[in-house]
Copies of this chain bind each other. A is one copy, B any other.
Amino acid sequence: MFAIAIHGGAGTLSRAGTSADQEAAYLQGLESALDAGYSLLHEGGSSLDAVTAAVVSLEDNPLFNAGRGAVLSRDGLAELDASIMDGATLAAGAVCGLRHIRNPITLARRVMDRSPHVMLVGEGAEDFARNQGVELVSNEYFRTDIRQRQLHRLLQGAAEKENDLLAHGPASGIDAGMGTVGAVALDARGNVAAATSTGGMTGKRWGRVGDSPIIGAGTYASNGGCAVSATGHGEYFIRAVVAHDISAQMQYAKLTLAESVKNTLARMKALGGNGGVVAIAPDGEIVLDFNSEGMFRGVRSSGGRREVSIYR
């Protein structure tokens, strides 16, 4: 048994105002990311390599809020966060506040594999990248027209209800300016892994960091529990320690993965948050769940499961 599940963000995705062409492009992006990860698993590769490959594919796709196509901060810059975790060893790597790293998830992986640290931040993280021979790119590489327009719209409204917009995010259309990409996988050796990458929240400022680079919140993996990658309103995912909370319920309360996910998302929603997760357990149970209107998501398993979808 081996499998991979991915997400490309969750939020207020409305069918109204979204063309069939747009939907098809998102679904194709999800298929490509599944291809990248699943083909490695099929060749006997590790869950860690599979989630890395899937997230790189989503980072390179300008439709999703990670890597190229990331949303822009109030200063008009892309600021990228990512994290990765190996369920077999509990090794982890995380980076945040990057402005010049093409694939943040591969830098998170290098932090895990080649440094004594787990989390590196900002310019220091980019110094580490240089030290590792990683090519740095201009911030312009990440910026797309659609993200510039989203920022412009946000800033136009911002004078009136600044905190409200920052707290709740812009709320219309399929490209609503929040979101994250992520993947979880189970390989043939029974090891799980998780990876998450994001551009954060349109118009963010003050060095705001969400849950994506936080081990335990946006990303967690343990063969003793499960692997989780989260997407949604990051502040609530940090406060509910969502990814670890799901794994902990399997480990300590002996719940199934589906029950654990349901309980954690309910508690997070009670705090006021919305979003979703993809999760996989060593026994092969796979869950893609969310309390928002939609979540870009996909799954492929050696058991023959193969789906991509957006809405409920």
Contact = CB atoms under 8 A, between A and B. Distances in A.
Interface of A: 85, 90-92, 94, 96-97, 115-125, 127-128, 131, 163, 166-167, 205-210, 214-217, 220, 234-235, 238-241, 244-245, 248-249, 251-253, 271
A119 B249 CA distance: 25
Contacts of A125: 206-207
Contact of A239 (B91, B115, B116, B123): B91
Contact of A215 (B207, B214, B253): B214
B215 A116 contact: no
A241 B244 contact: yes
Nearest to A233: B116
26 contacts: A85-B239, A90-B240, A91-B239, A97-B121, A115-B163, A116-B166, A116-B235, A117-B166, A118-B235, A118-B238, A118-B239, A119-B210, A119-B214, A120-B206, A120-B207, A120-B208, A121-B121, A121-B207, A121-B208, A121-B209, A123-B207, A124-B208, A216-B241, A244-B248, A248-B249, A252-B253
Contacts of A241: 215-216, 220, 241, 244
A240 B245 CA distance: 12
Contact of A205 (B85, B124, B166, B249): B124
Given A248-B252, A251-B252, 10 more contacts: A119-B209, A119-B238, A120-B206, A120-B208, A123-B207, A124-B208, A127-B207, A131-B206, A245-B248, A252-B253
Contacts of A208: 117, 119-121, 124
Contacts of A244: 216, 241, 244-245, 248
A128 B127 CA distance: 25
A193 to B, nearest CB: 14
A92 B209 contact: no
